[in-house]
Amino acid sequence: MQETSILTGAASEELAASLKGRDFLALADYTPQELCYLIDLAIELKRRQKSGEVYHPLKGKTLGMIFEKSSTRTRVSFEVGMYQLGGHALFLSGNELQIGRGEPILDTAQVISRYLDGIMIRTFAHRTVIDLARGATIPVINGLTDSEHPCQVMADYQTALEHKGKLEGLKVAYIGDGNNMAHSLLMGAAKLGMHMSVATPEGYEPDAGIVSQTKAVASETGSQIMVCRDPREAIEGADIVYTDVWASMGQEAEQKERIKAFAAYQVNEELVKHAKSDYLFMHCLPAHRGEEVSEGVIDGKHSIVFDEAENRLHAQKAIMAALM
């Protein structure tokens, strides 16, 4: 990640043109330069919003927001983001759409493409998002699936850049469940030249195929990627320490089993002693204080979780503005 903006010049125009009409399903689909452009655009849109400047590139356009999983940050940030960009967001509950009654996703995609200018979907199976994008003729944005959470990671790395002044060469340590957050953080780190280590208990590792794909990207960008068991090994010398809930939405029945399996993986005051003295703590929220993270860490001076949450708004505005 370069420290100066790439929003000007011929290269910027080429990047902007390459993004128009695209889907945003996974970070693997984007080049490092495109991801840098989107992060820079998010920072610029944040500056404009904070200064009170009115900027309406999506005036007259509508985003359909399909929710098959409930949400706080995704719902509010996309809806407010569309409003700030001059457009309109339409909430669509999965239970109220015909896909909830068995209509093929390809049919739904073709129909609502004739009404809308973009679709954001937050759902369970990643295949649903892929099929929706295959049938749609407008951009589809992945608001979350069980495999990927790319919008969150764009906000995460925007926040890290704002606090550290660079991304390339930083080390991210992820402690906990090898879930959708781990997957997208890994790919984002590899694309942006960051190093990343993941520590999980046995049986909760990130998907082997995604790790392999990430390592292939890392070999081209100079990133170092490691998956291990020992949280102390993973966190050693980390610039950014990241964790997520131990039982995600849909895994509530496994809560007791997971608490036992992850007992040694809490991010607490003792564990973070092994990170750099100026480490940043990040969490995608919602957090369970006393489980995956201690109160002292998430509410301490190193925590930037609310800056990170705010940047969901700005990162997603950049994605919508660029694609739609």
Q: Of 34, 115, 16, 56, give the one whose Cα is nearest residue 317.
A: 56
Q: What is the DSSP letter of 102?
A: T
Can you tell me the distance from the alpha carbon of 324 to that of 23, in angstroms, rounded to the nearest whole number?
Answer: 10
Length of the chain in residues, anyone? 324
Q: What is the pLDDT of residues 42-91, one digit of tens each?
A: 999 999 999 999 999 999 999 999 999 989 999 999 999 999 999 999 99
Q: What is the pLDDT of residues 286-320, one digit of tens each?
A: 999 999 999 999 999 999 999 999 999 999 999 99
Can you tell me the distance from the alpha carbon of 321 to that of 38, in angstroms, rounded to the nearest whole number?
Answer: 10
Q: What is the pLDDT of residues 95-132, one digit of tens each?
A: 888 876 788 999 999 999 999 999 999 999 999 999 99
Q: What is the DSSP letter of 293?
A: B
Virtual torsion, Cα 120, 250, 312, 289, nearest 10 deg: 170
Whole-angstrom distance between the N-terminal and C-terminal Cα of the chain? 24
Mean of pLDDT values over 152-173: 98
> Among positive and negative, which fits the CA dihedral 98, 104, 105, 110?
negative
**Per the structure block, which two tokens stand in for 221?**
């960008």
Question: pLDDT-based confidence at 5, cuts 50/70/90?
Answer: low
Mean of pLDDT values over 159-184: 98
Residue pair 302/164 in contact (Cβ under 8 Å)? The answer is no
Helices (H), 51-122: 73-84, 105-113
Residue 143 has pLDDT above 70, yes or no: yes
Question: pLDDT-based confidence at 11, cuts 50/70/90?
Answer: confident
Mean of pLDDT values over 9-33: 94
- Identity (one letter) of the amino acid at 70? S
CA distances from 156 to 53, 167, 184, 237 (A): 24, 11, 11, 19
Domains, the chain? 9-149+311-323 (3.40.50.1370), 152-309 (3.40.50.1370)
Can you tell me the distance from the alpha carbon of 88 to that of 127, in angstroms, rounded to the nearest whole number?
Answer: 27
Q: Of 188, 192, 271, 201, give the one whose Cα is nearest residue 236.
A: 271
- Average pLDDT score, the chain: 95
- The residues carrying an active-site annotation are 122, 149, 152, 244, 284, 312
The vertex-285 CA angle with 280 and 286, nearest 5°, equals 140
Binding residues: 71-74, 98, 122, 149-152, 180, 244, 248-249, 284-285, 312
> Among positive and negative, which fits the CA dihedral 6, 11, 15, 16?
positive
Mean of pLDDT values over 14-22: 96
**Per the structure block, which two tokens stand in for 227?**
């998956």
Cβ–Cβ contacts within 10 Å for residue 172, how many? 26
Residue pair 274/230 in contact (Cβ under 8 Å)? The answer is no
pLDDT of residue 1: 37
Lowest mean pLDDT of 49-63, 137-151, 237-251, name the range: 237-251
